[in-house]
Structure 1
Amino acid sequence: MKKTMKKLTTLLAAAALTFTLAGCSNSSAEGADSGGEAESVEWPATKNIEIICPANAGSGTDGVCRALASHWGKMFPDHNFTVINDASGGYTVAYEKGRNSDTDGSTILVGTPSMLITYYFGVYDHLVTDPEEFQIINCIKLESDMAAVCVKADSPYETLDDLVEAAKENPNSISVGTGSGNIVYAGTVNIENALGCTFRKVDGADNNERITNLLGGFNDWAYLTPQVADQYVQTGDIRILAYADNQRSVNYPDIPCFEELGYPLSYQVPTGYILCANPGLSEEMAEAISSTLPGLKDDSMWKTLLNTTFKGGSWEYEEREEGIQTVKDMQIFCDDLGLGV
């Protein structure tokens, strides 16, 4: 049964403060001058900053965390930025590290939409959009490829119609790796709604696990982005039946999309990385950290990430208010999809 939503309070109050970044120094925050100007807030205020990554090394989330560490390390060379990977407890251990961290900006959690989905499924009791639970710093909303329906090269399912027909004849028997209560699960539910059938959802929380289970014959299809599946397509091990969007991928235009195959999707699965921290982190400090993000687009590690893991992807900085709304839109997606029911 879906958990009762906590009543959300209004987040954004206009702040008439001037924020100053400590580019290459360790100096402390400057006080207000004699003219009565508002006190400026600097970040980082401490020597060591931990970036909590709720995923294993080598994952897309890990790549984003390391690109942030690279960017911030160049921006603040007198400070140490360390990525801490922790995928235990269905990622909830990492969530708790971020939620219960110090309030000085020394710990930043880089979450994903799975933070919301674990809440809806009762796996995690704390809602990221509740200001009493987390302080949202901003959201890095990537524009990148959606997932695709992938099968083993020798699969009996030659087309998406073949897969749908088999699933309708035998509900909950055609297997797909999703994990429990994560964004892949939500994306699969979105696909089921479009196709009008149900699949048997089994373990497959990360790309490596889903690929291994598909190639090993344990799963009938896999939820993978085209760029992740591409190397296996090139070696003749995987075939892509359809791109799970209502228009073709710009990067893989030869893959037919759901809508043209007669299965329009009602929702686009949200993507983005939620930068958040202890709810006691001040609005001023959250704004100061957010204001360091624009230069990320120029970092070499970030550019490499967009050319590999998120091939052909793009990102433009959003003001903090827009970023918070992006996270709220993720919550609307969960509501509309009926997750956790």
Structure 2
Amino acid sequence: MTFRSGLAALFTAASLIAAPATADTYPERAVEFIVPWSPGGGSDTLMRLVANNVQPFLGAEMPVINMPGVGGTVGLGGGAPPRAADGYTISQVHEGLLVATETGITDLAWDDFDPIALMTASPQYLVAGKSDNYSNFEEFVTYAKAHPGEISMGVTLAGVPHLHAAMIEQAFGLEFKYVGYEGTGERVRALVGGNLDVAIGDISSSKQFVDNGDLTFLAVGATDRVDAAPDVPTFKELGQDLELNVTRGIVMPKGAPQEVRDTLEAALQEMAQDPTYIEQTNNAGADVGFRGQEDYRAYLSKLDETVKSLSSVLAP
């Protein structure tokens, strides 16, 4: 009887270990947060703010593991060991994954994961250098239509800025001459130096030059006007419902229990309303733009359709 009782206890313990997490027990340990980019970049900075603030709301620590490589796809599983769909591993994605999928950089796709929450949004701007031909977006469109292929547009080729520029082209019937730069800072410096006509930029890299008159914000890809640049119209105001953001969101390996996903979503939503977290995110140059599972999935699905429609433009 003692042997049988011991064996029964062993099987019971094993089944408890193997049992999936539930809302009543999750999380029982730290949740590993894979950020598929190098330390110090925008994604790393913003996601560490999530990790540093979430414990009071989730009840568990969230250590960040940087796993960069191949345009942010290694850490998502493109070459990394597979992770269990148990809620104890999460990852960060942004629009770059959709571009990487469509341009053949990776076989991974956004819907290989369960979206949990979109956390931050960094609105992107159409920024212009000094020009005698246009001073606002309407004049820019008129000039660009009259000079197809002549406007030089600074982007990261086959990257998110390229996607955003192509979305503007498609929406307003324009044709740009693309010039590739590795990062936003390089593009903005080229614009200030007169080597470009326009570029895709953000407020942290461009506002100082706008304030001193070297550059002009023609339009912003936010859903509403941005407090830091209240005079800049949105693309929606200008006639096209375009969202040009670099968003950072959290996903899980596909198949995690729904109650686990709901628990994490609820914790992140509560944290997204915390004044300290909001202030830290704003100071890092981004807005808190929380969207839960359904809204985040809808955003990614709509964006994926747009990226597919622009695949020929984005091809490296």
Same fold by TM-score greater than 0.5: yes
Amino acid at match of 1:94: G
Counterpart residue number, 1:315: 289
SS in 2 for 1:94: coil
- Structure 2: segments with no counterpart, 5+ residues: 1-12
SS in 2 for 1:287: helix
How big is the shift at 1:70?
A: 0.8
2:101 is aligned, of 119, 122, 133, to 119
How big is the shift at 1:207?
A: 2.6
Change (3 A) 1:62 1:235: farther
1:140 is aligned, of 114, 118, 124, to 118
Amino acid at match of 1:289: L
Counterpart residue number, 2:71: 90
How big is the shift at 1:97?
A: 5.8
How big is the shift at 1:250?
A: 5.0
How big is the shift at 1:199?
A: 0.9
- Structure 1 Cα separation of the partners of residues 226 and 265 of structure 2: 30
How big is the shift at 1:156?
A: 4.2
2:37 is aligned, of 21, 43, 54, to 54
Counterpart residue number, 1:10: none
Counterpart residue number, 2:9: none
- Structure 1 Cα separation of the partners of residues 118 and 269 of structure 2: 10
Once the two structures are superposed, residues 18-75 of structure 1 have per-residue CA deviations (whole angstroms, 9 ceiling, x without a partner) of: xxxxxxxxxx9x96xxxxxx9655344444723314366241x333311111123455
1:294 is aligned, of 263, 269, 272, to 269
Work out the percentage of aligned pairs sharing the same amino acid. Answer: 20
Counterpart residue number, 2:251: 276
Counterpart residue number, 1:3: none
- Pair 1:340 & 2:302 matched: no
SS in 1 for 2:195: coil
- Structure 1 Cα separation of the partners of residues 125 and 31 of structure 2: 40
Once the two structures are superposed, residues 231-264 of structure 1 have per-residue CA deviations (whole angstroms, 9 ceiling, x without a partner) of: 222233322233457975454332345576xx52
Is contact 2:36–2:73 with CA below 8 Å preserved after alignment?
Answer: no
Instruction: Judging by fraction of residues, say which structure has more strand.
Output: 2
Q: 1:72-111 counterparts in 2 under 5 A?
A: 72-75=54-57, 79=61, 81-84=63-66, 86=68, 88-96=69-77, 100-103=81-84, 104-111=86-93
Q: 1:1-341 counterparts in 2 under 5 A?
A: 40=23, 42-47=25-30, 49-54=32-37, 57-59=40-42, 61-75=43-57, 79=61, 81-84=63-66, 86=68, 88-96=69-77, 100-103=81-84, 104-129=86-111, 133-134=112-113, 136-140=114-118, 142=120, 146-152=123-129, 154-159=130-135, 160=137, 163-164=140-141, 167-204=144-181, 206-226=183-203, 228-244=205-221, 248-249=225-226, 251-258=228-235, 264-269=239-244, 272-279=247-254, 281-297=256-272, 298=274, 300-310=276-286, 313-316=287-290, 318=292, 320-335=293-308, 338-341=309-312
Change (3 A) 1:176 1:303: same
Is contact 1:150–1:224 with CA below 8 Å preserved after alignment?
Answer: yes
Once the two structures are superposed, residues 254-275 of structure 1 have per-residue CA deviations (whole angstroms, 9 ceiling, x without a partner) of: 2345576xx5225334664331
- Structure 1 Cα separation of the partners of residues 94 and 103 of structure 2: 15
- Structure 1: segments with no counterpart, 5+ residues: 1-27, 32-37
- Structure 2 Cα separation of the partners of residues 254 and 75 of structure 1: 37
Amino acid at match of 1:330: L
SS in 1 for 2:34: strand
Scaled by the length of structure 2, the TM-score of the pair is 0.74
Instruction: Judging by fraction of residues, say which structure has more helix.
Output: 2
- Structure 2 Cα separation of the partners of residues 147 and 78 of structure 1: 34
Scaled by the length of structure 1, the TM-score of the pair is 0.69
Is contact 1:52–1:97 with CA below 8 Å preserved after alignment?
Answer: no
Amino acid at match of 2:294: E
Amino acid at match of 1:107: T
User: Number of matched residues?
Assistant: 294
Change (3 A) 1:194 1:246: farther
- Structure 2 Cα separation of the partners of residues 168 and 330 of structure 1: 25
- Structure 2 Cα separation of the partners of residues 167 and 182 of structure 1: 23
Aligned-residue CA RMSD (Å): 3.8
